[in-house]
Amino acid sequence: MNSPLPAPASGKVQPIRPAATVILLREAVRGRADARGFEIFMLKRTSRASFAGGMFVFPGGRVDSDDHLHKYDAVRAGPDERQAAQAEALGAEWRGYWIAGIRESFEEAGLLLAYRDGELLSYANAEERRRFAAYRQPLHGRTLRLFDICQREGLRLAVDHIHFHSRFVTPLGRPRRFDTRFFIAAAPEGQAGRHDEHETVDSVWVAPDEALSRHREGTFGLMNVTRFQLEGLVRHRSAQAAIDAAAANRHFPVHRPVLPPGH
């Protein structure tokens, strides 16, 4: 059991917000000169953002009250039997974290992890791509719910496709604190992803080792928690190997970093 950390000297403790983040992977594009192993989807946050401004991040965000509602049981597939340990590690609120991860991936990246007629949604044509892109802003503005999109489009959310990986709690002393569950999933074929041009201003598919190398050169800003996740991914030779490892995982560490004095 993790022992509680002491409060900062000021006596003021920032509230911790529950959050979910999804690391989306795909095998490297064949035939591309700089292709290597596999790639992950990353977004660059606007420099005006109050949190992680100018940094490259994975899609994710706060868990909303709507994400916990039992109505989503009618439009989700999973968790399945192999994810029993993941659900247990997530605890009683497992539903909210999985749904939030899917919702935030769609809001921020346009990547919707859902099934239609038993197959992962692929945005089969230009009209479908435009239709789903039009859902993103009202979903972000909460004038449309993910449940509504599922009903309108005949979708089932692909919870069984997304694997809980690890948990990070923002250290004391930061102005905004999150208790974030990180997930890993394969990006659906046919969905390329794109930033929203509001909270995020750029997006890229990048190999984990390339992202780390560019970060060391000072051209690819990363938070420590993001860098830590990338350092764990570089040991895998393919996207499928990383996903298989996540699916088979039975150990879900809770990372509670502590800021050094003076930070």
Backbone phi and psi for residue 90, each to the nearest 5 degrees, phi listed first: -70, -30
pTM, whole model, 2 decimals? 0.90
Q: For tokens 């709690």, what's the residue?
A: 169
Residues in the chain, total: 263
Tokens (6 digits) for 191: 């969905």
CA distances from residue 222 to 47, 73, 89, 211, 215 in whole angstroms, order as listed: 13, 35, 27, 9, 7
- Give 6's contacts (C-beta < 8 A, 6+ positions apart): 172
Q: Phi and psi of 71, rounded to 5°? A: -60, -25
Amino acid identity for residue 15 in this structure: P
Domain boundaries, the chain: 16-255
CATH architecture of 16-255: Alpha-Beta Complex (3.90)
**Residue for token pair 């990383």:** 242
Peptide linkage before 253 cis (omega within 30 of 0) = no
* Amino acid sitting at position 94: W
Q: What is the pLDDT along the chain (263 residues), one digit of tens a residue?
A: 333 344 444 455 668 899 999 999 999 876 554 546 899 999 999 877 666 678 999 999 999 999 999 999 999 999 999 999 999 999 999 999 999 999 999 999 999 999 999 999 999 899 999 999 999 999 999 999 999 999 999 999 999 999 999 999 988 877 788 999 999 999 999 899 999 888 899 999 999 999 999 999 999 999 999 999 999 999 999 999 999 999 999 999 898 877 666 55
